[in-house]
């Protein structure tokens, strides 16, 4: 009497299902890793663009202020600002001076090709203490992303005081703070430039040192 052989089909089916499960896990891991790398790459590119724009806006501001100094003049509205202990207080009390911004809504372009929020600059006066001349402070912000709503003109799209992009918290930003000695601010002053590179924005900071 012979024992009937069991069909191998059930075993083969289990092997096939197990192999399919393993392959699906590998595919999911590869996809997840690729997606994370893509998001990291986009984030790094956005931070690099925001940092470059903050640097360029700070350099633009220094060049304009240097022009005022050569003619012994001051930007309109600067001399009426009251010295404050920090930027947050200046923003709260409305003691900042908008000094330019750029925000684009260019047809057919995305943020990677230069569209969207670019930069924003504000000036304020730092109180350094009794009998110490105050400093003129430049707050230069660079951005990568779009505001909501999109700007109707280039200079709109930011809340001032504060240079805050309107309608979204998903914009990458970089922040540079520059301290300048400037005449006729409180007890006066005049001469050199110092740069604070610790004033990082929501997504990091950057800075550079130079003479004024």
Distances (CA, A) of 54 to 7, 99, 127, 154, 192: 72, 13, 24, 17, 21
Per residue in 27-55, pLDDT tens?
555 545 554 554 455 567 788 899 999 99
Per residue in 132-161, pLDDT tens?
999 999 999 999 988 887 777 777 889 989
- Report the pLDDT value the prediction gives residue 211, as an integer from 0 to 100: 38
For residue 204, count other CB atoms closer than 10 A to its CB: 14
pTM of the predicted protein model: 0.70
Domain boundaries, the chain: 48-196
For residue 24, count other CB atoms closer than 10 A to its CB: 10
| pLDDT < 50 positions in the chain | 31, 35, 38-39, 187-212
- Report the pLDDT value the prediction gives residue 55, as an integer from 0 to 100: 96
**Integer Cα distance of 93 and 116 in angstroms:** 29
Distances (CA, A) of 149 to 3, 26, 116, 145, 157: 79, 42, 11, 12, 7
> In 145-186, at which residue ranges do the beta strands (DSSP E only) sit?
158-159, 164-165, 172-181
Query: Which residue, among 127, 124, 137, 121, has the nearest Cα to 77 in the 3D structure?
Result: 124
Residue pair 123/97 in contact (Cβ under 8 Å)? The answer is: yes
């Amino acid at each position: 009497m012979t024992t009937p052989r069991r069909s191998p089909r059930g075993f083969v089916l289990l092997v096939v299902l197990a192999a399919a499960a393993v392959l699906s896990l590998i595919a999911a891991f590869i996809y997840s890793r690729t997606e994370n790398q893509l998001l990291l790459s986009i984030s790094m590119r956005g931070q690099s663009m925001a940092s470059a724009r903050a640097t360029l806006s700070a350099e633009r501001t220094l060049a304009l202020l240097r022009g005022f100094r050569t003619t012994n003049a001051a930007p309109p509205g600067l001399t009426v600002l009251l010295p404050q202990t920090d930027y947050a207080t200046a923003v709260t009390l409305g003691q900042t001076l908008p000094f330019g911004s750029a925000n684009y809504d260019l047809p057919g372009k995305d943020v990677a090709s230069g569209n969207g929020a670019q930069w924003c600059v504000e000036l304020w006066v730092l109180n350094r203490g009794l009998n110490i001349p105050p400093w003129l402070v430049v707050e230069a912000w660079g951005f990568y992303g779009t505001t909501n709503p999109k700007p109707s003109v280039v200079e709109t799209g930011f809340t001032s005081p504060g240079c805050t992009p309107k309608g979204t918290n998903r914009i990458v930003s970089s922040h540079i703070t520059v301290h300048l000695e400037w005449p006729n601010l409180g007890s006066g002053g005049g001469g050199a430039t110092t740069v604070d590179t610790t004033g990082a924005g929501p997504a990091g900071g950057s800075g550079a040192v130079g003479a004024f």
